[in-house]
Every structure is written in C-alpha cells, then in structure tokens.
Structure 1
Amino acid sequence: MPASKTTSGVRMLSCMPLTVMTVVAAADIATGPGVGFLPLVSLGPAFSGLVGGWRRTAVTGMVALLLCVALGTYDGLFEERRGFTAMAAVAGVTGVGIAAAVMRSRREAELAGVRSIAEVAQRVLLRPVPPEAGPLRAAVSYTSAHAEARIGGDLYAVVDSPYGVRVIVGDVQGKGLAAVEAAAVVLGAFRAAAHDEADLAGVGERLERSAARELDGERFVTAILAEIGTAQGVVFLNYGHPAPLLVRRDGSVDEPQPPVHALPLGLGAHGGDRPKPYRADFAGGEQLLLYTDGVTETRDAGGSFYPLGERVRLLSDPDPRRALDALRADLVRYAAGPPQDDAAMVLLRYADTAGA
C-alpha cells in the first residue's frame, strides 16, 4: 500500500472520535430528547481506544462526559434517570477503551522487540554482500513472503576466498523457524568450506555432510554454488536449483544447465546422481544472476509466470545495486498480489576490462 494512502487512513481514524461526537451532538440538538441520541456520545472514547493511546482515550472520555452533561442539561434529562444512565455508559466505555489502549500498546512494544530480534538475526544469518569481491561487483535483493518478516527460508552468501569468489544461493523447503534454522546450517557450512576447500566439489561435499547431519529427514535445501577464479569463466554446482542467467555484453541471455540433475541438499540418503561441476564463459562486462524460484514463480493476474529472461534488460544501470532494484520493482509490479514465496536474487557483474 502506498505511504500516502496509509497516512491518510491514519488521519481519518485519528479524527473519528471527534467526528462521531460532533455528529451525535448535532443530531441530538436537531431531533430533541425524544429520539435518545445522547448515549451514542460514548462512541467517541470507544473509537479513541481503538486508534489512540490510553492518555488520548482518557481525554476523549472526559470530553465525552462534559458533552454528555451539556446535552443532558439542554435536553432536561437530569430530571430523570436518562441523563445519569448516559453518563454511566460514557464512563464505562471510556474505562474499557483505556484498558484496550494499554493492552494494544504492550502488544505493539512486544512486536517491536520481536522485529528488532529478527533484524539482528538477519544480520547474523544473511550478512551484507560485499559491494566488490575480486573482479566482481555484487548486489543482492531479498523479499520475504510475509510482510512483517525480515528473514525466511531463502539464503545467499558471497565469499572472497583464496580460491576465488564463491557464491551460494539456496531455498529451504518449508517456512518458519525450522526453515531459518536449516538456512543457518547451510550458510555456516558454506562460509567455512569456501575458505578451506580447494575446489568447488569439496565445498559441495561439506554442505552435503552438514545437511545430512543437521537437517531432519523431511527438510531439504535446493542450492546453486558458483566459483569465479582468477581466470575468466565461472564454475557451477547445482543441487536441484533453478539454473543461473548469464547476461552477455550484447544483451543476450544464456541459461547454463547442469550435466546431471542432482537432488537437493539433505536428500543424499535417497540415492540419485551427485552433482557435477560444470563451467560457463563469464568475462568482462557480463553479468551473472542467481535467484530462487520465488522470482520465476511469481504470477500476474492472468496466472502467467514472471518472464525473468525477458526482463534482464532492466539490469542496464551501471550501478549493480540500482540495476537489481529496478528488476525487483518490476517483479513487485508484475505480481497480482502479495508475494506467495520468498524471493532472493544475487547479481554479479564482471569488471569491464575492455573499458579499463
């Protein structure tokens, strides 16, 4: 929702208590005491308790009581019990509104604390990607399927190791804290192995052992690993993950496919082919986009999937961060509604040595 609409909605709710009491007072004066509008003055503190703090609710309740006394005196209702009954109703609703405001404030404080913890967890789990790593410039985009969440089941990391720049992008099966825990296992193993193992296959083996040891039998992680060494080119290792996109200097797009389709991490006990490293050309001025299926499985109002390969033209901005932001904004516009899955993208741009 646009910020302007949200702000206008908050203003309307803030004005609601005063507006309601004004309307009730005008109706009571216009129709006289016979209709019995006076108890409706209690709607003012009732609405205030829903949208304001307890102090504001108490002030609104006092204003409502004074208005009730004034109207009751004007209508002559204190000569009978109706005026006192209306005042009791206003006082009771004000008390309930104050209690509701206090409880809501406590819940909002608790939610703010949870959000703060989630942000810290994100910084520990999904560390910021370095803007430059070896011959590459890098940028990352992460969109959670839950509007209030900061982290989810998608994972990524870029490590500038002694053996070249090593990258992982993955997607944990499932949601919730269990998915976050699985992502932490894979990322921890990758960051250690990326510095220790001399080849990408060794990194993959470390990840498989960690996943087999730490993940339960029903959870798995699709992942793609990439290594960009000193020589131009990129080596991939794919564990059941969507193929990467290589954007060439002329704007054409390649989608390197693995020689065998291996099972995701965590399913090695089920047999099947093990992943094999495969190589693709990756040279100066070209771009590599790694992503999760939350990107390509985004649907528009007609049910069509997001055509990622056709949208890579949006990556033309010289700054990788702005280029990836443009692609993410297009993805959000394309979606028919809120995202149904987490979506992560990592963009790597090879330094344009020809222009150096």
Structure 2
Amino acid sequence: MIRTSRGDRVRTKAVSAGRRGLGGRFRRSVPLALPVGWGAVAVAWKFGCPLARQPGLPVRIATSIVFLTVGTGLVLGVRRQLRRELARVRAVAEATQQVLLRPPPARLDGLALAAGQLSATRGASVGGDLYEAVATPYGVRIVVGDVRGHGLAALGAVVAVLGSFREAAHDEAELGGVLRRLERALQRHLRERARDEHPALGKGDPEHPVAEEFVTLLLLEVRADGRLAVLDCGHPAPYLLGPRVERLPVGEPLPPLGVLPLPAVLVPHTAARLLPGETLVLHTDGAEEARDRRGRFFGFEAALARSAGRPPEGVVRQTHEALLRHTGGRLDDDVALLVVRNDRVRVPAQPAEPGLRRPRPAPSTHC
C-alpha cells in the first residue's frame, strides 16, 4: 500500500482544481473561438491578399460581406456567452432567495399555510418583506414584517430578523422574549452597517442613513386551542376570513423595531381566536397601498372577500392575480401574503361509557 502525505494530497487537490479552472476557462472561450478565427481570416485577407486591395465595386461588396459576417458572428458569440452566464447567476440567486425566504410547509401542526411575495424590484423574488412560520412547543409562531424601503438593499435587515426569529421562536417561552431577540438582532445589524458606511475616519454622511431604517413587524402565536397571542410593531393588522371579512384585533400597537426601544413590559393581545375552518390573512402594507395608473387604491378587502372559502394557496394566487391586474404589473412596493387556515377538528364532549357508574353525591349532613 502506498501512503501519501497530507502535503501531497493538498498539492494533488490544488493541481486538480487548477485543471478544472483551466478547463472551465477553455469551455467559456469556445463560443468566441469561431468569430475570432473569422476576424483573423478577414484581417489577413484584407491586408495580405492582393485582390482585396484592388479598386472596384465587386471587391468592396465582398469585403463588406466578409466583415459583416465576422462582426455578426462575434456579436452572436458574445451574446450566447452572456446569456449562459446570466442563466447561471439567476440560478444561484433563485436558490439563495429560496433559502432566505423559504415557503412555509403546506401543513403545520393542524394548520394549512400558504405564502407568496411580489417584489417591486425587477428580476428579484425577494425584497424588503419577510415572513416565516414554525411549530414550537408553545404553539405555531408566525412573523410578518416589512423593512423600510424595498428591493435588494433591504435584504440585510431581512436576514438579521429572520435568522433571529428562527432560533428565538424555539428558545423563548414567552412571545415578548422572541420580540426582544428580534430587536437586538436588528440593532446589531444597524451598528454593523453604520461602521461600514460611516467609519470613524471617514468624512461626510453615509449614503443611506442607518438612523432612518426600521422594520414594521407582526408577531403571532396560534395556540393549541386556537387562541391567538399578538404583538404588533406598527404593522397592518391581519384579516380574518370567516362568515365575513374583518380586521383582527391586535391590541395597542408598539413602535416599529429600530425607531424607539421596546417597553419594559410586553403583554401580547390574547382576546381573539382562530376557530376551526376560519382563515387568517397576514400581509404587508404594499397590498393595501397599491395603486393603478389613475391613482386608485387596490380593493384588498374586497379581493379577500371574493376568495373566501378557497384553500390558502388559492387565496394567495387569486389575490396576487387581482393585484397585478389592478396595477398593470407595476408595483411601487413589495407585497407579501401569508395565509393560515385552522384545519384542527373540534372534538365534542363524549358521553360516559355504558357500565360506568357516575359518582354518587355526598350524603347530606343536615337533619
């Protein structure tokens, strides 16, 4: 048996990687080889062939055809290469965006879920909106938020908030503890951005003042009995689709994260329930503030009423289609929807089994 040292293995891997890199560069240069070869032949023919230097219209036409063919081939080769590179970049971007804003599971602890987002940035499937739903020992916990602004510039805050929520939702027994973890994660992100954009030795104001960045957020917990616990940080209240469409009460709203510190005591609002068969629609403000070319607002509540009775994925799809028709496909802000339907079955009280005696009442002690 021949044993190889670690250094040999490292050098072997380096050589293999170098060969793969050379092979990749060679494959990328193949589409350009043909037009470059044509160009070399055309230049050699123009300056080395005596016939090409002779005057006359036929020679000029032939020379023009040769150079036009070469130029067309070169443009097509470059275009094909750019399209391949763009396809690879889009595939990587879509995979990254799916990991960042992953779709929720279709069913989660007896709840049916569906979500979707429309980005105002062309070519991006995520922007400044965020959502997530996880099953925990304390109930199904859901977050929906909206970072100030939209598009790819807001992804840093989205990553900070979602990453913190995915851990805190399982670790914190109280919903208020989850919200404080999100606040601390956003503060760390803003401090890091401040150091990057406006270092101590730099001069002038940062291009995007961090002091103006904040996140509106709705934190919700669906407990086993359908009772809802809600903490609202300046976010639009969700809609409840039951016998009619109505706003869900969320209690006194808190300031958005990043604007003011949270109060010392956080008490979730627990006066509402999600009964079996009812649907809850959480959204960002882009759904209610979307306008058409005449400046008319989108009838979000009416669109939800038309989709009542549909499954969650049907509510998301029909609402998005109505929104795109109203705006002509031109959105000024990102739009995120997360729809939750309670599919838990309410079990009625069971009668006592036959043969089991009911306990006798205690005898009276009165004379």
TM-score normalised to structure 1 length: 0.72
1:301 aligns with 2:293: yes
Runs of 4+ in 1 over 4 A off after TM superposition: 53-58, 271-276
Give 1:1-356 correspondences, 5 Å limit: 81-215=56-190, 216=193, 217-218=210-211, 219-248=213-242, 250=243, 252-269=244-261, 276-279=267-270, 280-351=272-343, 353=345
Relative to structure 1, is the Cα distance of residues 261 and 322 closer, same or farther in structure 2, using a 3 angstrom cutoff?
closer
Question: How far off its partner does 1:258 sit?
Answer: 3.9
CA distance in 2, matches of 1:84, 1:317: 76
CA distance in 1, matches of 2:109, 2:125: 29
Q: Which runs of 5+ in 2 are unaligned?
A: 1-30, 37-53, 194-209, 349-367
CA distance in 2, matches of 1:288, 1:176: 26
- 1:299 aligned counterpart, secondary structure: coil
CA distance in 2, matches of 1:206, 1:102: 52
CA distance in 2, matches of 1:266, 1:350: 33
CA distance in 1, matches of 2:265, 2:161: 17
Per-residue displacement from partner, 1:218-243 (whole Å, max 9, x unpaired)? 32211111100012221211111111
Residues matched between the structures, number: 282
- 1:353 aligned counterpart, secondary structure: coil
Question: How far off its partner does 1:253 sit?
Answer: 1.9
* Conservation of the 8 A alpha-carbon contact between 1:246 and 1:253: yes
One-letter code aligned to 1:163: Y
Relative to structure 1, is the Cα distance of residues 55 and 300 closer, same or farther in structure 2, using a 3 angstrom cutoff?
farther
Percent sequence identity is 36
* Conservation of the 8 A alpha-carbon contact between 1:239 and 1:265: yes
Aligned alpha-carbon RMSD (Å): 2.8
Q: Which runs of 5+ in 1 are unaligned?
A: 1-52, 59-78
CA distance in 2, matches of 1:203, 1:272: 14
One-letter code aligned to 2:171: D
Question: How far off its partner does 1:88 sit?
Answer: 1.5
* Conservation of the 8 A alpha-carbon contact between 1:212 and 1:267: no
CA distance in 1, matches of 2:266, 2:150: 25
* Conservation of the 8 A alpha-carbon contact between 1:260 and 1:273: no
Per-residue displacement from partner, 1:284-325 (whole Å, max 9, x unpaired)? 111100011121111123211111111112333543212321
* Conservation of the 8 A alpha-carbon contact between 1:296 and 1:305: yes
CA distance in 1, matches of 2:93, 2:58: 52
CA distance in 2, matches of 1:326, 1:230: 29
- Please say which structure displays the higher CA radius of gyration: 2
Judging by fraction of residues, say which structure has more helix. Answer: 1
CA distance in 2, matches of 1:107, 1:272: 53
* Conservation of the 8 A alpha-carbon contact between 2:111 and 2:344: no
CA distance in 1, matches of 2:78, 2:258: 44
CA distance in 2, matches of 1:145, 1:182: 17
- State the partner residue of 2:6: none
* Conservation of the 8 A alpha-carbon contact between 1:235 and 1:277: yes
CA distance in 2, matches of 1:238, 1:285: 24
* Conservation of the 8 A alpha-carbon contact between 1:158 and 1:167: yes
CA distance in 1, matches of 2:131, 2:225: 24
* Conservation of the 8 A alpha-carbon contact between 2:226 and 2:273: yes
Question: How far off its partner does 1:126 sit?
Answer: 1.2
Relative to structure 1, is the Cα distance of residues 274 and 146 closer, same or farther in structure 2, using a 3 angstrom cutoff?
farther
- 1:281 aligned counterpart, secondary structure: coil
Relative to structure 1, is the Cα distance of residues 289 and 352 closer, same or farther in structure 2, using a 3 angstrom cutoff?
same
One-letter code aligned to 2:178: V
